[in-house]
Amino acid sequence: MKRLLSAQSARALLVLASLAFVAHVFAQTDPLPSWNDGSAKRAIVEFVRVTTTEGSPGFVPPPERIATFDQDGTLWVEHPMYTQVIYCLDRVPALVKMRPELAKVEPFKTVLTGDLEAIAKLPTTELEKVLVATLTGMSVDTFSAEVKKWLAEAKNRRWKRPYTELTYQPMQEVLEYLHVNGYGTYIVTGGGQDFVRVYSARVYGVPPEQVVGTAVGTTFGYDKHGTPFLTKEPKLLLNDNDAGKPEGIHLMIGQRPRTAFGNSTGDQQMLEYTAAGDGARLMVLLLHDDATREYAYGPATGLPDTRVGTFSQALYDEAKKNGWTVISMKNDWKRVFPFDH
């Protein structure tokens, strides 16, 4: 076993050296430059310090450093509609081209008009028909290629930029900060797992295998040349919202997170599950209270939300009662987007 031991010792030394080096870099610079100095920033920095300082009572060994992040409304803009829903609506013309009989059938008929107000009024059950028709029934490779093409072309109407540029710069910094401190950073999203995996590495530095999301089953089969491929089926395997988030975390990661970030009632159970473990824990909720730079909704306004995840007054009260960290977008963030100056 001499060889294995030497390689292991070598790697251990390198890990130590890299930790020392990273610590050195961080001692000189602010790891969260887009954050104002407030309780939220201090809570994040203190959590990292406590869990990564050997000998600290809150020290967490690297293999147990798991951090989970909701995506929509936590890492990027979710208003006025989830990006993936816009993708599905945008796919309808191509779908109708292949299946012309759909043009005269609801909800496709309404979606084809392009009348956003009418589309927004479609009942959820009708909207689900659009999701099923545009997210399943094709091979996983075809789906990835379609999403990639759409992301390269589609633009958000308000900012006139690709959707993948509408990530929150302060959260990008938190992802990076946790990553260099030995945390596995996972996206745990109600959005489609296959959808987010197309861009997670490029946009967030999170590899596909660290994306947990709502997932449908696939079916293995062979094409006419005998080449195997997987088809996305209209069969829900994991609804990664609410209680589905801790269930999905157990299924896909198998470890309880040490820290979790969310922004809506869909993240409540993930935050509670994270909080219920031993040792140092950090639970964070992002409050959308910045109508100027982004949007104000949820308890910041008292306005009810319809289609997007609600950060309810009850969740806000639970957070406050339990000492969870609430980020005020307006007060805690120096800038919101990477393109802000």
Residues that contact a copy of itself, how many (by CB under 8 A):
58
Residue 208 engages a copy of itself in binding (rule: CB under 8 A): yes
Q: Which is nearer to a copy of itself, 107 or 262 (CB)?
A: 262
Whether the CB-CB separation of 75 and 269 falls below 8 Å is answered with: no
| Contact between 180 and a copy of itself per CB under 8 A | yes
Is 219 a residue that touches a copy of itself (CB under 8 A)? Answer: yes
Q: Which is nearer to a copy of itself, 123 or 226 (CB)?
A: 226
Residue 27 lies near a copy of itself (rule: CB under 8 A): no
Q: Which tokens in the block code for residue 10?
A: 């070598």
d(CA 199, CA 164): 8
CA neighbours closer than 13 Å in the CB half-sphere of residue 39 = 10
Q: C-beta of 245: minimal distance to a copy of itself in Å?
A: 8
Task: List beta partners, residue 261.
Answer: 69, 284
Q: Per-residue x/- mask for a copy of itself, residues 319 to 338, rule CB under 8 A? A: --------------------
Q: Which stretch binds a copy of itself (CB under 8 A): 11-19, 90-98, 146-154, 310-318?
A: 11-19
Of 39-47, 50-58, 100-108, 238-246: span binding a copy of itself (CB under 8 A): 238-246
**Residue 171 CB, nearest approach to a copy of itself (Å):** 13
Question: Cα–Cα distance between 176 and 206 in angstroms, integer?
Answer: 10
**Sole binder of a copy of itself in the list 243, 290, 307, 316 (CB under 8 A):** 243
Sort strands 259-262 and 228-238 into parallel, antiparallel or unpaired: unpaired
- Least distance from a copy of itself to the Cβ atom of residue 122, Å: 30
Determine, following the binding rule CB under 8 A, whether residue 253 of this chain makes contact with a copy of itself: yes
- Report the alpha-carbon distance of residue 255 to residue 76 in Å, rounded: 25
Nearer to a copy of itself, 62 or 114 (CB): 62
Q: For a copy of itself, which is the closer residue by CB, 26 or 159?
A: 26
Tell me how far apart the alpha carbons of residues 236 and 272 are, in angstroms, rounded to a whole number. 24
* Closest separation in Å from C-beta 157 to a copy of itself: 27
The residue written with tokens 């099923």 in the block is 132
Beta carbon of residue 126, minimum distance to a copy of itself (angstroms, whole number) = 28
The minimum distance between CB 69 and a copy of itself, in angstroms, equals: 15
237 binds a copy of itself (CB under 8 A): yes
Q: How is residue 34 written in tokens?
A: 């887009």
Q: What is the token pair recorded at 147?
A: 């999403």
For residue 242, is it left (φ>0), alpha (ψ between -120 and 50) or beta?
A: left
Q: Is 252 among the residues that bind a copy of itself (CB under 8 A)?
A: yes
Binding residues (CB under 8 A) for a copy of itself: these are: 2-4, 6-7, 10-11, 14, 17-18, 21-22, 25-26, 29-31, 33, 63, 66, 140, 173, 176, 180, 184, 193-194, 197, 201, 207-209, 211, 215, 217-220, 227-230, 237-238, 243-244, 246-247, 250-255, 269, 272-273, 276
